[in-house]
């Protein structure tokens, strides 16, 4: 005989839940990731630093002939990568203004230390030249020859057309007095300052002898002497025939020591 009482089935036990552990700061994968990031940053910084290893040095702002007394306007600071050769060039921490170039440099060239002439005996000589006998493009740093031309109106002691080279291969230090516009005439006196050896000043002034001057610009900074028409290059005082100027220089040449 059965009764109405039933037996409840046994409950089936499920799997035990696993507790999720919080991440640890010393997790190996986290440490490796941080090290990789730091390594990448250090390598990138090293590459950027090596690519930008430049030093500021002086360069020439224009063509400058040997014997030019440097001024601040002749120098421009540039940053270049020189590596071990940096010590051979003039750093912007130096002040080469006032020193004399021992050799010519072109515009944009870096100024090497060896280009300066520490024992220069050059002086600045001011020459009065009529504007009609000065090239319009004459500028500081160019190399010029200066000829003295006899003026028939200056006296009987000078033959018409007599020409002599009084300054050969001199660097231009300054050009002043050049008129502009309608007030400029061919007889306007332009002062051309050149650098010559101190021992040659007296000879230059004696060679001028009150005659008018003509300026000839050399094509190259290191070109040889430019002879007068029909004159051998070795004969600096020989004569040649060129058109005589309309008037004599208005003032004698003056000389002064370099600053």
Share of the chain above pLDDT 90, in %: 14
With contact defined as beta carbons under 8 Å apart, do 148 and 236 qualify? no
pLDDT at 30 over 90: no
Q: How many separate domains does the chain show?
A: 2
166 lies in some domain: yes
Interatomic CA distance for residues 170 and 182, integer angstroms: 31
What pTM did the predictor assign? 0.58
Alpha helices in 66-200 (DSSP H): none
Locate tokens 């590596």: which residue?
83
193 lies in some domain: yes
pLDDT confidence tier of residue 147, bands split at 50, 70 and 90: very high
DSSP 49-93: HHHT--EEEEEESS-B-TT-B--GGGEEEEEE--GGGGGGB-BTT
**Same domain as 179, residue 107:** no
Side-chain-side CA neighbours of residue 252 (13 Å): 10
Residue 77 structural domain? 56-117
**Same domain as 134, residue 98:** no
Q: Of 58, 48, 113, 96, give the one whose Cα is nearest residue 80.
A: 58
**Same domain as 65, residue 165:** no
**Same domain as 152, residue 179:** yes
pLDDT of residue 72: 87
What token pair was written down for 146?
């200066």
17 vs 236, residue with greater confidence: 17
Of 81, 101, 117, the domain-final residue: 117
40 lies in some domain: no
**Same domain as 247, residue 141:** yes
**Same domain as 61, residue 173:** no
**Same domain as 156, residue 76:** no
Of 100, 117, 134, the domain-final residue: 117
Min mean pLDDT across 105-114, 162-171, 226-235 is at: 226-235
12 lies in some domain: no
Min mean pLDDT across 32-36, 60-64, 250-254 is at: 250-254
186 lies in some domain: yes
**Same domain as 111, residue 204:** no
> What's the CATH code of the domain at 64?
3.90.1210
Interatomic CA distance for residues 154 and 150, integer angstroms: 8
pLDDT digits (tens, 9 = 90+) for 43-53: 887 776 666 67
1 lies in some domain: no
78 lies in some domain: yes
């Amino acid at each position: 005989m059965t009764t109405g009482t039933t037996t409840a089935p046994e409950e089936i036990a499920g799997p035990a839940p696993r507790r999720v552990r919080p991440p640890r700061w010393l997790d190996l994968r986290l440490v490796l990731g941080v090290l990789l990031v730091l390594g990448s940053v250090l390598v990138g910084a090293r590459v950027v630093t090596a690519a930008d290893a430049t030093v500021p040095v002086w360069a020439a702002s224009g063509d400058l002939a040997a014997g030019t007394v440097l001024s601040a306007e002749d120098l421009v600071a540039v940053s270049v990568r020189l590596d071990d050769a940096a010590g051979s060039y003039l750093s912007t921490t130096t002040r080469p203004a006032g020193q004399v170039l021992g050799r010519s440099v072109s515009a944009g060239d870096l100024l090497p230390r060896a280009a300066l002439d520490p024992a220069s005996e050059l002086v600045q000589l001011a020459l009065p030249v009529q504007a009609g006998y000065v090239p319009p493009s004459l500028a500081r740093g160019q190399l010029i020859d200066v000829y003295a031309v006899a003026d028939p109106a200056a006296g009987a002691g000078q033959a018409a057309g007599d020409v002599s080279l009084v300054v050969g291969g001199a660097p231009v230090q300054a050009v002043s007095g050049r008129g502009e516009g309608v007030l400029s005439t061919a007889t306007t006196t332009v002062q051309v300052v050149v650098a010559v050896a101190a021992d040659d000043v007296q000879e230059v002034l004696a060679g001028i002898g009150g005659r008018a001057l003509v300026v000839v610009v050399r094509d190259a900074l290191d070109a040889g002497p430019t002879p007068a028409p029909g004159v051998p290059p070795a004969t600096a005082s020989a004569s040649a025939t060129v058109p005589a100027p309309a008037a004599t220089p208005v003032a004698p040449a003056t000389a002064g020591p370099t600053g």
